[in-house]
Amino acid sequence: MSKHGEHFANKVAVVTGGASGIGRALGQELLGHGAEVILADIDRPLLERTVAQLGARGGRVRGAPLDVTDRTAVTELLAAIRRDHGRLDLVFNNAGINVCAELRDTTLEDWDRLIEVNLKGVVYGTAAAYEIMREQGSGHIVNTASVAGLAPSPGEGAYSATKHAVVGLSTALRAEARAFGVAVSVVCPGIIDTPLVHTTKYVGVTEERIRALLPIREYPVERTAREILRGVAANRGIITITRFAKLMWGLYRWWPEASTLLAQPLLRRVRKDRGRAPRTRS
């Protein structure tokens, strides 16, 4: 077991969005380090398959069907886990969705759904976990944002807004929580190879066109999970994943206007296909 892996041995960890993508990879990695893992997800059939697959490899894992937009359900799940295990060590608020659309094409319904899942889902998980962890005097809350939460992301402005909010929530709480023995981290990945690429709603552009225009390849999800856990073990406040994410964040801090300038060629190329692209894709 690696040095940072010892940090997770016998810990009780909850991962939302745990049936696929980064959540699934985190569950697998945590199990490899000896943690007891509860994967939570709204997709019950996929969750059951994931739990069966990971459980067959050994380790303590179970599933918990959960809609993160249901405040009562989130609170009750974390309270039950604390009651059953006597503690709650790690909560990864990881569930999320995306809408790839210019703001002129983003409906109020899109905004509502993004805020419900990406922001309120994290708020509910954070609030419930923080109350438990303050009382027990220990624990680590890990919220998944995005590089789009550190630098502007034209073409997915509403998604970017929710992720900026998650970064703000997490960094503020990190300062407040230290006095109570609670750690808080926010994960800001770049472009990761997960099902989110396929489940994103595309407006005015196709998934295939966006993928063709990406300046880099998608980053392996298993490697992403390993890097996240290294950051958690080191108690890093902001955990950036991929060189692209680090570059964009550094560039934005050094020269904010660069994001606007760099986006222009990409926007022009995307808009050339606007008339040929379907208006929506779910």
CATH number at residue 94: 3.40.50.720
Distance CA 110, CA 282 (A): 11
Contact in structure between 144 and 231 (CB atoms under 8 Å) = no
- The neighbouring-strand residues paired with 274 are none
- What is the Cβ-side half-sphere exposure of residue 36, based on CA atoms within 13 angstroms? 11
Distance between CA 82 and CA 197 in Å, rounded?
34
Q: Domain range for residue 146? A: 4-272
Residue 151 lies in a domain: yes
Q: Which two tokens stand for residue 180?
A: 């109570």
Residue 214 in any domain: the answer is yes
d(CA 276, CA 206): 9
Q: How many domains does the chain have?
A: 1
In this structure, are residues 30 and 53 in contact, taking their beta carbons and an 8 Å threshold? Answer: no
pLDDT at 4: 64
93 belongs to a structural domain: yes
What pLDDT is attached to residue 272? 80
Global model pTM greater than 0.85 = yes
Cα distance between residue 39 and residue 63, in whole Å: 5
Structure token digits, residue 11? 């810990």
- Residue 183 maps to a domain: yes
Secondary structure of the chain as H, E, C letters: CCCHHHHHCCCEEEEECCCCHHHHHHHHHHHHCCCEEEEEECCHHHHHHHHHHHHHCCCEEEEEECCCCCHHHHHHHHHHHHHHHCCCCEEEECCCCCEEECHHHCCHHHHHHHHHHHHHHHHHHHHHHHHHHHHHCCEEEEEECCHHHCCCCCCEHHHHHHHHHHHHHHHHHHHHHHHHCEEEEEEEECCECCCHHHHCEECCCCHHHHHHHCCCCCECHHHHHHHHHHHHHCCCCEEEECHHHHHHHHHHHHCCHHHHHHHHHHHHHHHHCCCCCCCCCC
Asked whether residue 278 is domain-assigned, the answer is: no
Assess if residue 215 is contained within a domain: yes
Of the candidates 124, 130, 159, 202, the residue annotated as catalytic is 159
- Whether 281 maps to a domain, the answer reads no
At 267 the pLDDT is: 84
pLDDT of residue 282: 39
What pLDDT is attached to residue 204? 78
202 is an active site residue: no
Residues 6+ apart with CB under 8 A from 142: 90, 91, 92, 93, 94, 184, 185, 186, 187, 228, 232
Q: Could you give the dihedral angle defined by the CA atoms of residues 58, 16, 141 and 88, in that order, rounded to the nearest 10 degrees?
A: -60
pLDDT for 2: 53
Q: Is residue 280 part of a domain?
A: no
Chunked in runs of 10, what are the mean pLDDT values of the chain (282 residues)?
Answer: 75 98 98 97 98 94 98 98 97 96 95 98 98 98 97 93 98 98 97 88 80 78 98 98 94 89 83 60 40
